[in-house]
A and B are shown apart, each in its own frame.
Chain A
Amino acid sequence: MTDQHADALFRRLAAGEQLSESDRLHVSECRACGQAVAEAGRLDGRLRKAAQFLAGEPLPPGIQRDLKVLGRPPATGWVTAGAAVVVGVAVIAGLALASTRPTGDASPVPSTSSSGEAAPTVLPSPDASAEPGDFVSGPYGCGDGVEGFAIWVPSGWFANSAHDGVAACRYVSVEQFNLAAIDSPDSVPIRFNVLSGDFGLTDEILERRELTIADLPALRFELAGVDGKYLVYVIGIDGQLPSESNTSRFLTASTAAGDKTFDRYSAAVEEMLSRFAVTTPFRTPADVAATADDLMHDTATCTNDGGPFVLRYPDGWFTNEPAGETPGCTFFGPSDMSGDGGDGLPDGAEITISVSDGAVGSFDSFFSFDSVNVGGRPGQRTETDGTVSGDGRSYRYVVQLTNQIVGTNLLAAVRLRDATDYELAKAVLDRMLDTIRFEPPSGDDATCLASDLDIESGRVGAYHGHSTQLITLTNVSGEQCELAGAPKMTVQAPSGSKTVDLGRYARQALVIAPQSHATILVGAPAACSPRSDDVADTIQIMINQSSTQLRDLYIPLTCGDPVLLLFEIQP
């Protein structure tokens, strides 16, 4: 019976109950019960040791603060609608922001404008590769290039540099600080953050004012936190205040809580916002590429009869109709091209794609120079500074529509001066040219007939892991002629006939001048195990419905099927 009492007492204590007066009396007369009470008292210590053994890694700093986990301002108790976190017993203050618009009758504090003398002197954003301890010291126009805003860091204050995904100008302190050490936002007296969606406040609102900052709607709250009074600004940086009905971004500027520090920090925040401005966020190349990909997700098709070529362009963009000597599908841009934009371009044209005869070159300095293949044609892509030509910075493709530089070329270009978004226009041009199709074959050259070409077998060799057989086509017609693509070919081997895979050369046009040679390099994988003796010794070449056969070749097929490795004009 005594043991049962002891067990029951232990269980109750383990379950969190306290010893009652009658328990104490009982324990004084029950030795087993006394031991049970002692064991229960030691249970916490034992649990601590055992659980610490299991705990493994310490949890990351900051997780103990729900508010901080979602990146909210320090010690303010923000609640973002839809967030998974429920913050204790949140006292939503009934802001009814969804229907609230700034009335403007409150005195704007700070009263600023995005223009005029109050505009910030924004210096370049602090280096994104900065060390965690890097910071900028005021006076400084500090720009957050990610979200696109700038604040003023007064003399005697320090703001963080961008580091490891944390944007610049988010933390401002009177002391130099290490970004990596900001585990407790309370240690940084002023913090800026960009959120979106609706919000509520968990602390008592002492004062609420509506105002405009840099012509943007804003709210100013004085709140009573557990640790004292603090200030919060909400600025609708997308032009509207947060509400349930929008997902606009808003900037929060908040001070650490404290009755003694309130006046000082409030004055500092207001000085920082006195030169607040919305800026253009910077983008990474990946951002630009993603936007261009999105634009090219839905496309329209147009044909340029001057090329001629067919390509696709963003469905939301504009292109020109034929007018005079200018074929349609020459100019492209995101806005309607009505009117003359000067310089031979219609207003709004950001990309120009045309065909011209003659040599193409540039005396401008190159930022980049790449060899490219556009629609099966070789070409070059350059970016130049445009100082000599007077074009300004330009991004150009020159694509050979014949096999000679001094011939017909496709020219495609974006000029910085024409583009509202130069980098995006470049990325869109890249994608448009990926879709280009030249048809029928360009130029006035006659199509090569089998009788125009002398076909000879050449050396046996090796190329890129393949056994190869060289074949030479010589134009013996006396007139320049063109092959629209590599000729279809079939090899004959003991195992049967096999078609040569032409790959990308199927649509590679070649213009062959009189007495010039085109090279065909047919091959098959050279190494494998086990080996056999399946060797093709004959090839059938189809040129414009005429078939030519070559014998006494050596194309081993033991390791794979035949492929076309090269199809080009011999230099």
Chain B
Amino acid sequence: MQAIGRVVTTSDAAQRSIETFDDRFAAVRPRLLSICRGLVGPALAEDLVHDTYLRGRGKIHQLRDPGLFDAWIARIAINLCFNSHRRSRRLQAREIDAATAPRVPERDLALVELIEQLAPRERTVIVLHYGHGYPVADIARFVGVSDVNARTILFRARMRLGDRLREAEQ
């Protein structure tokens, strides 16, 4: 008789999670891409969604309720968008979708372009607050900064936008 070594076991739940992650991510990817485009622009969105995939796959075991996958993965994406200034300050003007652009008055289109020129952190906070309607406190929690910091980023961005808007319109 012999008994040598150690029987390794794995977490059934974790294994299942990883196996289903790719499928679920594929389903939510277009939505993430759209969200990230809005937050940081098309130039960075693809890369950030890919980073979201990598980050999510590595952390899927932290998601205790698979029913909340979409919210969980979107949150990771938002965080990455918010922090994308660390990887690149390169910003490009957003290419306005021809089908959508006419719905926006020309004057607001100018503001859209000004928002697109903001740094990713400022742009993320502006879009989350004004575009998605989240209170500053919620945004602070999304992106992992204090309420005060989030509020500072928001008002600094507002001030910058206001300055440029007045400059452009005068």
Which A residues touch B12, using CB under 8 A? 146, 281, 283, 287
Contact with B130, one of A51, A297, A338 (Cβ below 8 angstroms): A51
Cβ B10 vs Cβ A50 within 8 A? no
The A-B contact count (CB < 8 A) is 219
At the interface, yes or no: A52 with Cβ under 8 Å from chain B? yes
The CA of A338 and the CA of B1, in the complex, are separated in Å by 9
At the interface, yes or no: A286 with Cβ under 8 Å from chain B? yes
Which A residues touch B156, using CB under 8 A? 15
Cβ A15 vs Cβ B155 within 8 A? yes
At the interface, yes or no: B70 with Cβ under 8 Å from chain A? yes
Mark each residue of chain B from 37 to 66: 1 if its CB lies under 8 Å from any CB of chain A, else 0. Answer: 111000000000000000000010011111
Cβ A300 vs Cβ B2 within 8 A? yes
Cβ A56 vs Cβ B38 within 8 A? yes
Which A residues touch B154, using CB under 8 A? 16
Within 8 A of B (CB), among A177-226: 179, 182, 193-195
Which B residues touch A281, using CB under 8 A? 12
Contact with A294, one of B10, B31, B142 (Cβ below 8 angstroms): B10
Mark each residue of chain B from 125 to 168: 1 if its CB lies under 8 Å from any CB of chain A, else 0. Answer: 01101111010011001101000000100111011011101100
Contact with B111, one of A16, A50, A59, A320 (Cβ below 8 angstroms): A50
Cβ A286 vs Cβ B15 within 8 A? yes
Cβ A54 vs Cβ B155 within 8 A? no
Which A residues touch B144, using CB under 8 A? 84-86
At the interface, yes or no: A147 with Cβ under 8 Å from chain B? yes
Give the shortest distance, in Å, between B31 (CB) and chain A (any CB): 5
Mark each residue of chain A from 5 to 44: 1 if its CB lies under 8 Å from any CB of chain B, else 0. Answer: 0010011011110000000000000000000000110011
Query: Which residue on chain A has the smallest CB distance to residue B20?
Result: A165
At the interface, yes or no: A68 with Cβ under 8 Å from chain B? yes
The CA of A86 and the CA of B143, in the complex, are separated in Å by 10
The CA of A338 and the CA of B107, in the complex, are separated in Å by 86
At the interface, yes or no: B104 with Cβ under 8 Å from chain A? yes
Cβ B104 vs Cβ A83 within 8 A? no
- CB within 8 Å for A70 and B3 given contacts A43-B162, A53-B104: no
At the interface, yes or no: A456 with Cβ under 8 Å from chain B? no
At the interface, yes or no: B98 with Cβ under 8 Å from chain A? no
At the interface, yes or no: A284 with Cβ under 8 Å from chain B? yes
Cβ B108 vs Cβ A55 within 8 A? no
Cβ B13 vs Cβ A147 within 8 A? yes
Which B residues touch A72, using CB under 8 A? 64
Give the shortest distance, in Å, between A61 (CB) and chain B (any CB): 7
The CA of A179 and the CA of B127, in the complex, are separated in Å by 30
Cβ B159 vs Cβ A11 within 8 A? yes
Cβ A54 vs Cβ B116 within 8 A? yes
Cβ A300 vs Cβ B4 within 8 A? yes
Number of interface residues of A (CB under 8 A): 78
At the interface, yes or no: A344 with Cβ under 8 Å from chain B? no
Cβ B65 vs Cβ A193 within 8 A? yes
Contact with B104, one of A47, A49, A319 (Cβ below 8 angstroms): A49
Cβ B67 vs Cβ A315 within 8 A? no
Which A residues touch B88, using CB under 8 A? none
- CB within 8 Å for A63 and B69 given contacts A53-B100, A85-B141: no
Within 8 A of B (CB), among A314-350: 314-321, 334, 336-338
Give the shortest distance, in Å, between A392 (CB) and chain B (any CB): 26
Query: Which residue on chain A has the smallest CB distance to residue B96?
Result: A53
Contact with B127, one of A54, A147, A164, A167 (Cβ below 8 angstroms): A54
Which B residues touch A287, using CB under 8 A? 12, 15-16
Cβ A165 vs Cβ B69 within 8 A? yes
At the interface, yes or no: B35 with Cβ under 8 Å from chain A? yes
Cβ B155 vs Cβ A14 within 8 A? yes
Query: Which residue on chain B has the smallest CB distance to residue A298?
Result: B5
At the interface, yes or no: A88 with Cβ under 8 Å from chain B? yes
The CA of A85 and the CA of B108, in the complex, are separated in Å by 35
Within 8 A of A (CB), among B78-106: 78, 94, 100, 103-105
- CB within 8 Å for A40 and B155 given contacts A49-B108, A70-B62, A165-B67: no
Contact with A50, one of B6, B130, B141 (Cβ below 8 angstroms): B130
Cβ B3 vs Cβ A51 within 8 A? no
At the interface, yes or no: B22 with Cβ under 8 Å from chain A? no
Which B residues touch A93, using CB under 8 A? none
Contact with A68, one of B19, B38, B71 (Cβ below 8 angstroms): B71
Cβ B74 vs Cβ A63 within 8 A? yes
Query: Which residue on chain A has the smallest CB distance to residue B137?
Result: A88
Cβ B3 vs Cβ A39 within 8 A? no
Give the shortest distance, in Å, between B135 (CB) and chain A (any CB): 9
- CB within 8 Å for A56 and B138 given contacts A179-B67, A319-B1: no
Cβ B2 vs Cβ A87 within 8 A? no
Which B residues touch A53, using CB under 8 A? 100, 103-104, 108-109, 112, 131
Which A residues touch B65, using CB under 8 A? 68, 70-71, 166, 170, 193
- CB within 8 Å for A47 and B64 given contacts A15-B156, A60-B70, A63-B75: no
The CA of A334 and the CA of B131, in the complex, are separated in Å by 59
Query: Which residue on chain B has the smallest CB distance to residue A195?
Result: B64
Cβ B35 vs Cβ A57 within 8 A? yes
At the interface, yes or no: A537 with Cβ under 8 Å from chain B? no
The CA of A316 and the CA of B37, in the complex, are separated in Å by 52
Give the shortest distance, in Å, between A393 (CB) and chain B (any CB): 23
Cβ B161 vs Cβ A336 within 8 A? no
Q: What 17 additional pairs, Cβ within 8 angstroms, besides A53-B131, A54-B112, A286-B19?
A: A11-B159, A14-B163, A15-B155, A15-B156, A15-B159, A43-B158, A49-B111, A51-B130, A51-B132, A53-B112, A59-B132, A61-B70, A71-B67, A84-B144, A193-B64, A294-B8, A316-B4
Q: Top 5 A-B pairs ranked by shortest CB distance?
A: A71-B65, A55-B131, A315-B5, A51-B131, A14-B162
A-B contact pairs, 8 of them (CB 8 A): A43-B162, A51-B126, A52-B131, A57-B35, A63-B71, A167-B66, A170-B67, A318-B2
